[in-house]
Amino acid sequence: MLTWFDNIADFTREIAALEPRRQAGEAFIAEKDTVSGYCVACAGMTTFAVRVGGFYGVNPNLREGLTCRGCGLSNRNRLIFSALQQRAAATPRPDVAMLECLTPLFVALRRKLPQLLGSEYISDAHQSGQVYSYHGHAVRHESITRLSYADASLDLIGHCDVLEHVYEYRAALREMRRVLRSQGEMICTVPFFMHRQEEAVLARPREDGSIEFFGPPEYHGDGLRPEGILTWHHFGWKLLDDAREAGFSDAQIGVDYDLFCGFATNNHPRSEYGLMYPLLLRAIA
């Protein structure tokens, strides 16, 4: 069950209570190639492929892995699928947009929400709201900092591991608040460093277009960009304040720890910096 937290103290208490089960359960799963469980997207029993999401040393990454053999959704994909589906069900004929459309997650969500809007970010040279040929598909381009959606036109907007790749992420939060109706929600997955308060700035753009790095460059894998995508920030709890400053009335972190549904942590060996619970950010307009 998804539980929402708006402060680090309540969150930390919940996580501490989960820790013995987490360690035993994930050590068991991490040794397997597959485990059985319930897929929220398939709405039935399934087989999860465990070791398909990369590794931290010898530890399989269970956030990107634990992929359902039926629908192809990873742990974190099913987590946001579940939250978006639940939230969409609370509004009659909701207007919902995802900032992706060439993914198994979009396909699975659209089966539940035929009116679902989808887009991809192609490049800064493309115009939001226009349709382009991209990877062999007709794709609507949307930039998260310059959306083409009208003011107060959506009930729900979702995106997956996007914010850390947007240097001007505060502008992105303001833009999503602009397009949401009152009480509408932004729900997203984002790498979240649960013991951090302020975000860590890993790099910043210089005026001449080059990039200043404050450590080893961090690139994340992306199915549409073989070169990967640069990470600017590691977020902590201040991201919730940033969302409120962007005009949202509230912001929370949701955790759904449920090994039967394949909702595990990323299984990162450093519990103080790098371990990520199955969690979502939601900001309420």
- In whole angstroms, the minimum distance from the beta carbon of 42 to Zn ion comes to 3
Q: Work out whether 35 is an interface residue with Zn ion (CB under 5 A).
A: no
Choose one: 51-59, 60-68, 88-96, 263-271; the region binding Zn ion (CB under 5 A).
60-68
- In whole angstroms, the minimum distance from the beta carbon of 25 to Zn ion comes to 20
Residue 133 half-sphere exposure toward CB, CA atoms < 13 A: 1
Choose one: 9-17, 65-73, 164-172, 264-272; the region binding Zn ion (CB under 5 A).
65-73
Q: Work out whether 68 is an interface residue with Zn ion (CB under 5 A).
A: yes
Pick between residue 42 and residue 107 the one whose CB is nearest to Zn ion.
42
Q: Work out whether 66 is an interface residue with Zn ion (CB under 5 A).
A: no
Q: Work out whether 52 is an interface residue with Zn ion (CB under 5 A).
A: no
Q: Work out whether 104 is an interface residue with Zn ion (CB under 5 A).
A: no
| CB distance 201 to 218 below 8 Å | no
Pairing relationship of beta strands 34-39 and 44-49 according to DSSP bridges = antiparallel
Choose one: 8-16, 42-50, 140-148, 245-253; the region binding Zn ion (CB under 5 A).
42-50
Helix (H) or strand (E) holding 140: strand 137-140
Residue window 176-205: x/- pattern of binding to Zn ion, with contact defined by CB under 5 A: ------------------------------
**Would you state the torsion angle of the CA atoms of residues 106, 109, 110, 114, taken in this order, to the nearest 10 degrees?**
-150
- Residue for token digits 């103290």? 9
Choose one: 48-56, 66-74, 201-209, 223-231; the region binding Zn ion (CB under 5 A).
66-74
- In whole angstroms, the minimum distance from the beta carbon of 173 to Zn ion comes to 31
Pick between residue 15 and residue 41 the one whose CB is nearest to Zn ion.
41
- d(CA 278, CA 257) in angstroms, rounded, equals 6
- d(CA 100, CA 81) in angstroms, rounded, equals 13
Among 29, 71, 144, 160, binds Zn ion (CB under 5 A): 71
Choose one: 32-40, 48-56, 136-144, 175-183; the region binding Zn ion (CB under 5 A).
32-40
Phi, psi (degrees; rounded to nearest 5) at 29: -65, -40
Among 38, 56, 70, 230, binds Zn ion (CB under 5 A): 70
CA 50 and chain centroid, separation? 19
Interaction site with Zn ion (CB under 5 A): 39, 41-42, 68, 70-71
